[in-house]
Amino acid sequence: MLTLLKLIQSIIKTLHSEGTPGQVAAGIAIGSVLGLTPLMNVHNLVIFSLVVLLNVSFGGAMLGWALFVPVGFLLDPLFNAIGLGLLQSPSLRPLWTSLTNTSLLPYTNFNNTIVLGSFVGWLLLTLPIFFAARYGVIRYRATIGERVRQSRFYKAVTASQVYNWYRMFRPS
């Protein structure tokens, strides 16, 4: 329940944050990789570091993660097919062979069909996600955003302690 509450809080705060629609959309686009690819992988640690270090919306990234988890599950068969196609492609075999025999790189699990397929899938979807998210945030703020901001629900959410923590990572 608390997790769900925090998720709602994160979504609302993100959409009303001072961040530009571009920063929120960039956060969603980068955060979506956490949902699209299997979580427990080294590349997601790098992605998380980027979300924290880059001046993008942290809430947007969390929103992207939450939104794309079910999408990731749904698209697993497609990701598997993409990954299998890439890993079994004769022209790419020298590349994979070389990467497999390089220090540390195998720990990224790139030779797993789902990991590679979903990561490549995310790379292909990043720009569409970014533009779609930016358009969505702009439209939201221009239409119902102000009414939500004036609502008691929004005020209750933003008044909570968690919000103070969140402000630390909001885009400047």
Partner 1 sequence: MRFKIFRWKAIGPLLLLFAIITLLVVIFAEPIARDTTEEASTELLGTQVDVGKLDLHPRESSVELRALQIANPFALARNLLEADEIRLKLNPAALAEKKLVIEQLSLTGMRFGTDRKTPARPVKGGGYAPQLLRTVEQWTKQFDVPLLSLTPIDTIRQLALDPTQLTTIREAQALVARTDSTRNTLEQGFQQLNIGQTVDSARGLAQRLSATDPKKLGVEGTRQAIASVQQTLTEIDAAKKRVEELERSTRAGVELLGQGTKVLDQARQKDFAFARSLLKLPTFAAPDIGNAFFGKVSIERFKQAVYWAELAQEYMPPGLLPRPAPGPQRLRAAGQNIQFPKENEFPAFLLEQGKLDFSIGGTSAVRGAYAATVRGLTSTPSLYGQPMLLSASRRAGGSALADINVHAVLDHVTSRTRDSASARLRGIQLPSFDIPGVPFRVDPGTGTSNLDFSIKGGGRLFGRWSIASQRVRWGADTASRSLNDIERLVWRVVSGLSDLEVVAELSGSMASPKLEVRSNLDEAIAKRLKAVIGEEVARAERLVRTKVDSLVADKVEPAKRQVAAVQTQANQRIQAERQRLDQVEQQLQAELKRLTGGIVPGIELPKIKL
Q: Which residues bind partner 1 (CB under 8 A)?
A: 38, 40, 49, 52-55, 72-73, 76-77, 79-80, 83-84, 87-88, 93, 96-98, 100-104, 106-107, 109, 111-115, 117, 168-169, 171-172
DSSP assignment letter at 159: T
Asked if 161 and 155 touch (Cβ cutoff 8 Å), the reply is: no
Q: How many CB atoms lie within 10 A of CB 105?
A: 14
Token pair in block for residue 157: 């959410």
- Identity of the residue, 19 or 64, whose beta carbon is nearer to partner 1 in the bound complex: 19
Minimum Å gap between C-beta 19 and partner 1 is 11
Minimum Å gap between C-beta 5 and partner 1 is 23
Cβ-count burial 157-168 (b if 16+ within 10 Å, e if not): bbeeeeeeebee
- Identity of the residue, 39 or 144, whose beta carbon is nearer to partner 1 in the bound complex: 39
Amino acid at site 42: V
Amino acid at site 106: P
Minimum Å gap between C-beta 122 and partner 1 is 14
Minimum Å gap between C-beta 144 and partner 1 is 28
Phi, psi of 141 (to 5 degrees): -65, -35
- Identity of the residue, 4 or 40, whose beta carbon is nearer to partner 1 in the bound complex: 40
